[in-house]
Amino acid sequence: MAQQKVEIQVEDHEGYRVLRPTGDLDVYTVGSLRDALGKMIEDDSPKVVVDLDGVPFMDSSGLGALMGGVRRMREAGGDLAVACTREQHLKLFTITGFGEGVSIAPTTEEAAKGFTE
C-alpha cells in the first residue's frame, strides 16, 4: 500500500517550533510525522512541540514516532514535548509510561516550558 499522508503545519515560536498534524496517526500515515521531525533536526531546530489536537486516532506506530522523535531530538541537543487534551491519547501515554520523562501539557506554550535543558 502506498504511504498515505497526514497534513502537518509547522509554526515558528521563540526558541522552538510547533508541529500540528491533522488526521489519524497510524502505520500508514506515521511516515509523514517521522519525516517532519527528521527535517527539524536537519534544519538545526531540534526543539519541537507536537500538538495532537488535530489527531483523533493514534496507534502504537504513532506513539513510536513520538518516542523515536524524543530520542533523536535529545541526541541532537533539543527535546520533543507534546501538547494534548485528548483523553484517549493521554490514556495511551499513561499506560505505556511515555508521559514519564516527556513534557506533556494541554497547550503548546505549557508543553514548551517542560523542555529538558
Partner 1 sequence: MRLSLRYKIVGGFGLLLALIGLLGWVTLSLFASLRSVQTEVFDEAVPGLVVADGIVRSYTAQSAAVRGYLINPRPELLEQYESETETSARLERRARPLLSSPSEQALMADLIRAGRAFHEVVDEEVLPRAAAGDRTLAFSFLGEQGDDAISTIETLGAQLRTAQAQVMSDSETELSRRSTQTLITLSLVTVGALSIGVVLAIVLPRRLVSDLGRLVDATRAIGRGDLDQRVDIRSGDEVEELARRFGDMQAGLKRLQQLALQDRELEIAASIQRNLLQRELPKTPGVRLVPLQRQANLVGGDWYDVEADGDSLTVVVGDASGKGIGAALLATVALSVLRAERGQGAGPRRIIERANEALRDVIDPDSFTTLIYAQVDSATGEARWLNMGHPPPFLLRSEASPGKPRGLYLEGPRNRVLGWFEDPGLEETVARLTRGDRLVLYTDGFLEAKSPDGETFGEHRFAEALMRLCALEPSAIEEELVREVERFAAGKLDDDLTMLIVEFQGASVRESVTTPRGEEPWHSKR
Look at the block and give the residue holding cell 508521559.
99
As given in the structure block, the three cell numbers for residue 24 are: 489519524
To the nearest 5 percent, what fractions of the chain are helix, strand and coil? 40, 25, 40
Q: Looking at 20, 48, 98, 104, which residue binds partner 1 (CB under 8 A)?
A: 98
Q: Looking at 56, 77, 106, 116, which residue binds partner 1 (CB under 8 A)?
A: 56
CB atoms within 10 A of CB 88: 12
Q: Is residue 53 at the binding interface for partner 1, with CB under 8 A as the rule? A: no
Q: Among 83, 100, 92, which Cα is nearest to 63's?
A: 92
Q: How many residues bind partner 1 (CB under 8 A)?
A: 24
Q: Is residue 68 at the binding interface for partner 1, with CB under 8 A as the rule? A: yes
> Which residues contribute to the site for partner 1 (CB under 8 A)?
24, 26-27, 34, 56-57, 59-61, 63-65, 67-68, 71-72, 88, 94-98, 100-101
